[in-house]
Amino acid sequence: MGHFILGIVIIMVGALIVIKSEGMLSTFGRIGFFENHFGVEGGSRLGYKIIGALTIFLGLLIMTNMIGGFMMWVLSPLLKYNQPGK
């Protein structure tokens, strides 16, 4: 039950980041990486929206209790060399 509530809270935070990207920009400022790679004026806004969307995705994984399987899938290329006999 706890992972469900935590997932909902993380999804709400991610949604607020996506919706209030202009407020995030005025509060925290521009992000140099996103400004260099994603445009001249709107790069940081897009960056905040990407961060929010990834937060929503992480919240969905936590809410459905699929975070363990996803992390094993993502990290499996690194972890297979750590196992003896392979």
User: Which amino acid is present at 51?
Assistant: I
List the domain range (segments joined by +) for residue 65: 2-79
Residue at 34 is within a domain: yes
- 27-75 pLDDT, tens per residue? 888 888 888 887 766 788 888 999 999 999 999 999 999 998 898 888 8
Residue at 55 is within a domain: yes
Burial 40-77 (b: 16+ CB within 10 A, else e): eeebbbbbbbebbeebbebbbbbbeeebeeeeeeeeee
Residue at 84 is within a domain: no
What's residue 85's pLDDT? Answer: 59
What's residue 52's pLDDT? Answer: 95
For residues 85 and 9, which has the higher predicted lDDT (pLDDT)? 9
Residue at 85 is within a domain: no
The count of structural domains within the chain is 1
Q: Of the candidates 52, 54, 31, which has an alpha carbon nearest to the alpha carbon of residue 43? A: 31
Q: 86 falls in which pLDDT band (50, 70, 90)?
A: low
Residue at 41 is within a domain: yes
pTM confidence score = 0.81
